[in-house]
Structure 1
Amino acid sequence: MKYFAVLLPMKDEEKSKTYRPEHLAYLEKKEEEGKVFARGRFADGTAGLVIYIADSYEEAEELTKQDPYVIHGARSYEIHEWDMITKATLLK
């Protein structure tokens, strides 16, 4: 299991407004499946961040490409594997 930080920069604000309910429903479903570690928008409205839990970059990219924001061209994406470091992981 790996973590992948996916940045979702704004491409089209109107499309983002239109597809927001589908985007949120998609992420809720993926959360229920254990595929989303964290998610949220940037306070300035320029982008969002989803941290997916996946076995590979390819799986994370497939999850990202299924997001309605990406499908409909509302957002672009950038994926980075993320090595999460917290005291909880350092104590192990």
Structure 2
Amino acid sequence: MTWFVRIEEGKVDKSTFDKYVPAHTIYVQELISKGHKAKSGYWAKRGGGMLLFEANSLDEAQAIVEADPLVKHDCINYQLNEWRVVT
């Protein structure tokens, strides 16, 4: 599998965003249980974050990202990139 990174920034107010965090947490746990080795977090400064995970292809990675409740409910803008691990 290949590593992918979703760099994100919030685009809704905190109370709206926070409504979907529990569903996002469940979503990440499901990715982990399916073998995608997902890690999710936010910048200490707030206002954005990152999702790191493995997928078999860019198409699969895009489908994974689109299934996130934060994306489904239009809470974030994001960029999806393949991450080529060197070491």
Q: Which amino acid aligns with 1:26?
A: Y
Q: If the length of structure 1 is used for normalisation, what is the TM-score? A: 0.85
Identity of aligned residues (%): 27
Tell which structure's C-alpha radius of gyration is larger.
1
Give the whole-Å Cα distance in 1 for the aligned partners of 2:9 and 2:37.
Answer: 18
Alignment pair present for 1:47 and 2:48: yes
Give the unaligned 5+ runs of structure 1.
87-92
Aligned residues: 86
**3-state SS of 2:77 partner:** coil
Q: Which amino acid aligns with 2:72?
A: I
Give the whole-Å Cα distance in 2 for the aligned partners of 1:69 and 1:37.
Answer: 15
Give the whole-Å Cα distance in 2 for the aligned partners of 1:5 and 1:28.
Answer: 17
Provide the aligned C-alpha RMSD in A.
1.2
Is the contact between residue 28 and residue 38 of structure 2 (CA under 8 Å) also seen in structure 1?
no
Structure 1 segments (4+ residues) deviating >6 Å: none
Give the unaligned 5+ runs of structure 2.
none
**3-state SS of 1:44 partner:** coil
